[in-house]
Structure 1
Amino acid sequence: MGLFRTLASSFILLIFIYVSHQLTRFTDFTWIGTTAVIILLAFLFALVIGTFLFFWKEKNLDHRPWRDRLLDGSLTVMAYINFLVSLVILRDVFAFVEKWVMPSQFGNLYSSQATFAMLGLPLVFLIFGNAVIQVGPRLKKVPVFFKNLPKELEGLRLLHITDLHISPSLSPSFVKKLVAQTLRLQPDVIVFTGDILDSFVEKHEEEFKMLAELKAPHGIYYVPGNHEYYWNPQKGLQAFRDIGFHVLINQVQNIAFGPATLQMAGIPDPAALHFREEGPDLARVQKQFTENSFKVLLSHQPSLAAKVQTLGVDLQLSGHTHGGQFFPWNWLIVFFERYAKGLYRIGNMQLYVNQGTGYWGPRLRLGTYCELTEIVLRKEPKTE
């Protein structure tokens, strides 16, 4: 862990040097202006480094409002730096192309006015990104068609919630809004695919009381993501059981619809193995499947889909990716995740990746939104 902190701090320091140089070296600032910009950037970068070193060292801190505000502020600054670095890189790339491919004058790109614009634009991005969060979860209805869907399951509605990240940075009002929206929809089944809790459960009794109000005639099903394992996972899992969620750890729950059976399966995130907890066991899940059932599997990680489809699963529901959450990661996520968001067909199985109902870290989304997905099971029409 000490090596990781050193490498992370060194990396952030290198970014600071690069950004400071590119924002001041080529401008017509006076030495006072240059010094002011460098001091501002030094303060912002130091705040991020210092805060995270503090929280890494003191992980088991008691709940205190000032610590939450400090972390919130640092996450916002981190997002500001993310946007600023992205703009600096894009400007440098554009200038390089303009100079060597389309030779022309590009001095205005590095003027003092351009520097002020680049320092101000991230603030605009933060405002718009936070507005998306304030709107709350946006409902997305996704009909999914299957050749083998029993007629009793036609039109069945599964409400898919993932990556809520209940933590000090997520307002309880966001959870309250989500619960109210879910109750209005009256889904047949509710499923949670991990990273719902991202903090010590003792800090979030209020949010769990809200989640306890959720109801669905055919049950509420939950699997943990990687973040649940960072905060005393057994206590967290028990908290979900206590409010009536079916916690599926390599388990299959049979749901009867007359003569038809929907088998709801769930596997834990592979991160469980790093904490000496039970990891995904697909062989164990497969033994619980019956031949003529319709099979839905919950997995936080969409990357497991290739293995899951060999089990004869009809539909996998996943999260984890956040769709990149905000610029530029919403563009780059496809290079890190094969299944970034939306609906995919893998063999005979279909996979749906929800881009996240909540958010992680800074209170913003830019280029994505908080997604609440209503999966509607449909019989694939016969083709003549």
Structure 2
Amino acid sequence: MRFLIFISIFIIVFALMSIYISKRFIKKLHFKKVYKNYLNYFLIINLIGVFCYFLFRRYPLIPNEIYFLLSIPIGIIFLLFSTTIIYDLTSLVVNKTVKDNSRRDFLKKTLDFSAVAIAAGINSKAIYNAKHAQLEKVNIKLNKLKQKYNIVQISDIHIGGLIDKEFISSMVEKINSLNTDAIVITGDLVDTNLKFAKPALEELKHLNSKYGTYFIVGNHEYFHGVDKIISYVKTLNITVLENSNTYIGNKNNGFNLAGVYDRFGERFGSYKPDIKASLKNIDITSPTVLLAHQPKYIEEIDTTNIDLILSGHTHGGQIVPFNLLVKLQQPYIKGLHQHNKNTQIYVNKGTGFWGPPMRLGSSAEITYINLLPY
């Protein structure tokens, strides 16, 4: 039922955005009527694509080539909507400031063609960005850490549809080439029915690191059978931190690694985050790194005994200007931040993507974290 409500609201919002694009952008273009009609038909096709995307997102039974075509309409409509707002504002400025009719018409026609060209270019660039995860290297100093360690963090992979076995295999190869001490996956690994995700998940068995791979659930796991996903991930030689902790490194010379369920568990009614349980019996002489999917969780807990939190969830906004909306809901969107005197937080921008295979202003990332002693 929640899924149906979400889809209904989402499609209504995108229908309203499409109407705005048609009325405030396409209708005003200095193009022949037949071309305007083509653009409106294109909008309608995209809106149908949004509906079909959600249908096959849950049950990916179609070839990836078709799924790709169904996945991009969300990004196209959103970017066209953003372009329309800028076009509207620019047109207003031209109408108010340019008094000469012939000059105003020339500027408006130039604006029309430029807006269409820019919109096409931005969409192409966004699709390219989503396919190429960048290696982000960051140095983080921790109190009480006695020697250097390195961690690879991946997050928000969203296995399902275009994030398939081939994608995961390539990602695993890149990570293994880094020869890391530990690998952490900070949620939203699976975003489809588990039976469709298994071929891609199996590739994670090939992850190699000195102290192993660790996983916490994100909010999307709750939509697809969080209990079954946790059980299956455990069969892949991956440790699932369920409000629990472990010790990385040699005794008294390493760090505590803790993990909590996602805060969505409070709404879900089970698999709720419990910070006290996750930090139980930690070695207080060593620093503590906490895996928590949503950056917002940092505002809900006492961080006195936590040196570093690794999060994801935000996708770095994924598509500008969506990052502005994310900022209203999350305290941090990407990168490293000093939250208070005791605690730092690093937010991974996501290794995969959700919705359209597009990223604009926020690259996909695999994070290589050097943990250094002060």
Q: Choose from 252, 256, 260 the match for 1:259.
A: 252
Equivalent position of 2:62 in the other structure: 65
Distance 1:144 1:199, change over 3 A: same
Distance, in Å, in 2 between the alignment partners of 1:349 and 1:272 is 24
- Counterpart amino acid of 1:87? T
Distance 1:297 1:104, change over 3 A: farther
Q: Structure 2 matches for 1:165-314, cutoff 5 A?
A: 165-314=158-307
- Counterpart amino acid of 2:287? F
Equivalent position of 1:13 in the other structure: 15
Q: Choose from 345, 362, 366 the match for 2:356.
A: 362
Deviations 1:192-249 (A, max 9, x none): 1001111122113322221101122212111000011111111111111001111011
Q: Unmatched 5+ residue regions in structure 1?
A: none
Q: Unmatched 5+ residue regions in structure 2?
A: none
* SS class of match (1:192): strand
Distance 1:7 1:104, change over 3 A: farther
Deviations 1:358-383 (A, max 9, x none): 11121122222111111111122xxx
Distance, in Å, in 2 between the alignment partners of 1:24 and 1:127 is 20
Equivalent position of 2:42 in the other structure: 40
* SS class of match (1:274): helix
Distance 1:172 1:127, change over 3 A: farther
Distance, in Å, in 1 between the alignment partners of 2:310 and 2:301 is 11
Distance 1:129 1:292, change over 3 A: same
| Structure 1 contact 169–361 (Cα < 8 Å) conserved | no
Tell me the CA shift for residue 298 of structure 1. Answer: 0.3
Distance 1:92 1:220, change over 3 A: same
| Structure 1 contact 189–217 (Cα < 8 Å) conserved | yes
Equivalent position of 2:314 in the other structure: 321
Q: Choose from 138, 142, 145 the match for 1:142.
A: 138
Tell me the CA shift for residue 276 of structure 1. Answer: 3.0
* SS class of match (2:25): helix
Distance 1:258 1:87, change over 3 A: same
Q: Percent identity?
A: 28
Distance, in Å, in 1 between the alignment partners of 2:54 and 2:248 is 47
User: What is the root-mean-square deviation of aligned Cα atoms in Å?
Assistant: 2.5
Tell me the CA shift for residue 168 of structure 1. Answer: 1.2
Tell me the CA shift for residue 144 of structure 1. Answer: 0.6
Distance 1:5 1:19, change over 3 A: same
- Counterpart amino acid of 1:96? L
Distance 1:22 1:263, change over 3 A: same
Distance, in Å, in 1 between the alignment partners of 2:153 and 2:343 is 18
Equivalent position of 1:83 in the other structure: 79
Distance, in Å, in 2 between the alignment partners of 1:283 and 1:245 is 23
* SS class of match (1:165): coil
Deviations 1:243-266 (A, max 9, x none): 111101111112341433421110
- The normalised TM-score by structure 2 is 0.89
| Structure 1 contact 23–110 (Cα < 8 Å) conserved | no
Q: Choose from 126, 131, 146 the match for 2:123.
A: 126
- The normalised TM-score by structure 1 is 0.87
* SS class of match (2:303): helix
Equivalent position of 1:371 in the other structure: 365
Q: Choose from 91, 95, 99 the match for 1:95.
A: 91
| Structure 1 contact 309–346 (Cα < 8 Å) conserved | no
| Structure 1 contact 163–195 (Cα < 8 Å) conserved | yes
Equivalent position of 1:156 in the other structure: 149
Tell me the CA shift for residue 189 of structure 1. Answer: 0.9
Tell me the CA shift for residue 305 of structure 1. Answer: 1.4
| Structure 1 contact 51–70 (Cα < 8 Å) conserved | no
- Counterpart amino acid of 1:373? T
Distance, in Å, in 2 between the alignment partners of 1:187 and 1:205 is 25
| Structure 1 contact 324–368 (Cα < 8 Å) conserved | yes
Tell me the CA shift for residue 296 of structure 1. Answer: 0.8
Distance, in Å, in 2 between the alignment partners of 1:193 and 1:65 is 29
Q: 17-26 vs 115-124, which deviates more?
A: 115-124
Distance 1:25 1:313, change over 3 A: same
| Structure 1 contact 314–349 (Cα < 8 Å) conserved | yes
Distance 1:95 1:210, change over 3 A: same
Distance, in Å, in 2 between the alignment partners of 1:304 and 1:8 is 25
Q: 272-281 vs 232-241, which deviates more?
A: 272-281
* SS class of match (2:206): coil
Distance, in Å, in 2 between the alignment partners of 1:281 and 1:42 is 46
Tell me the CA shift for residue 4 of structure 1. Answer: 5.3
